[in-house]
Amino acid sequence: MSGFLNMIHLQLLLFLLILVGIYARKRGFFTDETRKNLTDFFINIILPANIVASFHVRLTNELAENAGQILLIAFGVQFFQWGLSKILYLRVAHGRQMVVRYATICSNSGFMGNPVIQGVYGTEGLMYASIFLIPVRIFMWSAGLSLFTVTSRRETVKKLLLHPCIIAVYIGIVLMLIDYRIPTFLNDTIVSLSNCTTALAMIIIGSILADVDLRTVVDRLMLYYSAIRLLLIPLMVLLVLRLLHISPLLTGIAVLLAGMPAGSTTAILAMQYDCDATYASKCVLFTTLLSLATLPLLSWLVQITR
């Protein structure tokens, strides 16, 4: 039950950090420009440092095998989500349909997932989570983005190969393969930046949620989508991985990452391409708040179904 208790503790911590972000936004500490710059700083510096730090482990045959498994699992999850997005929202109006389809394919596993996985499964779990997120980013820039606009294969490949988080994975893998220990001062710098991940991520999310009126959030489509995003997808992942006898560690990581709320990029892209940006923001808000309850539930289910 330690994993479940760790998740409860972590969710309470995340909730308080989200409240800090909401407070900061309400008090005017976060302007739109400040939030954008801080988000860019997080994605391009803090998160890559967090990923590099997660690869500071000694490579073993078991670790290499697990890395291959989690990559295949991640691709399977992404194809499953893409398939669901094509068939479950056929009667939804076009603007909102694009929003909920994208938010089904692309969760907040990159932004919120790393802090959660690190809190529950430690450094080793964070390393596997970094690998799991490779297919997530591929689908985000291909199938996901194509819902709002036409994307070229060359542009998709370029964005993938040059994304700071993917480059961080390359660096981490190389350091692990050659078993090279970087100088202490550089390692301590990377670790110090990495330690900012959880607090900064949740504060930024809180500042985004502060702009949404809670009284207008819930409707039938929102409840329907939230059930798919937060329960149906991760429970199906749990069922399949248990039937395949995948290790508890990889199963737990995959289930929690599959159960993450709607990605914050949902609102950004909806605004940029004139879809229902307000509804997209509500999806991010509602599923993020609900995930504070559903993620501990998923963690508990992973524990009791071993």
pLDDT reported for residue 213: 79
Q: How many contiguous H segments (helices) and E segments (strands) does the chain have?
A: 15, 0
The confidence score (pLDDT) of residue 151 equals: 61
What local confidence, expressed as pLDDT, does residue 194 receive? 87
Question: Which positions ≥6 away from 128 have C-beta within 8 Å?
Answer: 66, 67, 70, 117, 121, 249, 250, 253
Question: What is the per-residue pLDDT for 71?
Answer: 94
Domain boundaries, the chain: 2-304
Q: Which of 25, 127, 14 is nearest to 66 (CA)?
A: 127
What's the N-to-C CA distance of the chain in angstroms? 11
48-52, 146-150, 295-299 — most confident range? 295-299
pLDDT in tens, 267-278: 767 766 777 777
pLDDT in tens, 47-65: 889 888 877 777 788 888 9
Q: What is the pLDDT of residue 271?
A: 67
Helix, strand, or coil (residue 262) = strand
- The pLDDT confidence band at residue 149, using thresholds 50, 70 and 90, is low
Is the pLDDT reported for residue 100 higher than 90? yes
CA–CA gap between residue 105 and residue 77 (Å, rounded): 9
Calculate what percentage of the chain has a pLDDT beyond 70: 94
Burial of 47 (0-12, 13-18, 19+ CB in 10 A): buried
Give the mean pLDDT of 229-240: 97
Q: Determine the pLDDT at residue 244.
A: 96
Question: For 2-304, CATH number?
Answer: 1.20.1530
Rg (CA), the chain: 18
Does the structure show a pLDDT above 90 at 235? yes
From the list 281, 300, 277, 301, the residue with the least C-alpha distance to 289 is 281
